[in-house]
Structure formats: structure tokens, C-alpha cells
């Protein structure tokens, strides 16, 4: 197996463990003990896989099933982040930037209009 795949699989296991920890934090805040325990078990499982892959580097069949699940988890998480960033970008482009530009453009030589326009656009 190429070293880059060995390194990738080690990082995938660590990423899955980290994502499971985020779920643990979420479940703890929601007082979801059952969800917390499932996420904790998943975290521990992926940390063990991470350590083992780092040490021996050759995944077993069962490891590949865990890595496949990790790939789905990571991909879904990345897709959620892309969606979140796209919403933020759209918000800046369609709302915030036009309003800030309008304030700058329309009140440049009219300081008396500045506060009025700010309140009109942001209140």
C-alpha cells in the first residue's frame, strides 16, 4: 500500500474520532445519555483504529469497513460545512455588502444622512 494511503487512513480515523467527540459534546448539552455513549464508543473505536494504523499501517478487512464509514461521515460533515459557508457567502453578497456599499456611496458627501441610512438599513 502506498504511504499516502496509509497516511490518509490514519488521518481519516482521527477525523472520525474528532467528529464523534463533537457529537458527544452535543449529546451532553442535550442530556442525551444514550447518544453520548454511542458517540463515545465510536470515538474510542476510531482512536484505537488510528493508533493501530499508525503503528502497523496495514488495515484489516474490518478496518476497511470502519474506514468506509469514516469516509461517509467525513464527506457528510464536509458537505455540511460547504453548505454553511455557501449560505454565509450568499448572505454577504446579497445583503451585507450591498448595504455597506450603499452607506459608503450615498453618504460620502452627506454626513447628515449617514445615521438615517444606517438605521434604515440595519434596524
Give the per-residue pLDDT at 120: 95
Long-range Cβ contacts of 73-80 (<8 Å, 24+ apart):
73/16, 73/19, 74/12, 74/15, 74/16, 74/19, 77/19
As a whole number of angstroms, the distance between CA 91 and CA 34 comes to 37
Entry pTM: 0.79
Q: What is the DSSP letter of 92?
A: I
Which residues of the chain register pLDDT less than 70? Answer: none
Q: How many domains does the chain have?
A: 1
Give the per-residue pLDDT at 48: 97
Give the per-residue pLDDT at 112: 87
Give the per-residue pLDDT at 14: 98
34 is in which domain, residue-wise?
3-122
Amino acid at each position: 500500500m502506498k504511504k499516502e494511503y496509509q497516511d490518509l487512513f490514519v488521518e481519516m480515523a482521527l477525523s472520525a474520532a474528532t467528529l464523534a467527540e463533537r457529537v458527544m459534546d452535543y449529546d451532553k448539552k442535550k442530556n442525551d445519555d444514550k447518544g453520548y455513549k454511542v458517540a463515545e464508543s465510536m470515538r474510542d473505536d476510531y482512536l484505537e483504529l488510528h493508533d493501530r494504523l499508525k503503528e502497523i499501517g496495514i488495515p484489516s478487512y474490518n478496518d476497511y469497513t470502519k474506514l468506509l464509514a469514516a469516509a461517509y461521515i467525513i464527506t457528510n460533515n464536509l458537505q455540511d460545512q460547504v453548505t454553511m459557508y455557501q449560505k454565509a457567502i450568499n448572505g454577504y453578497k446579497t445583503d451585507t455588502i450591498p448595504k455597506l456599499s450603499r452607506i459608503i456611496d450615498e453618504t460620502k458627501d452627506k454626513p447628515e444622512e449617514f445615521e438615517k441610512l444606517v438605521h434604515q438599513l440595519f434596524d
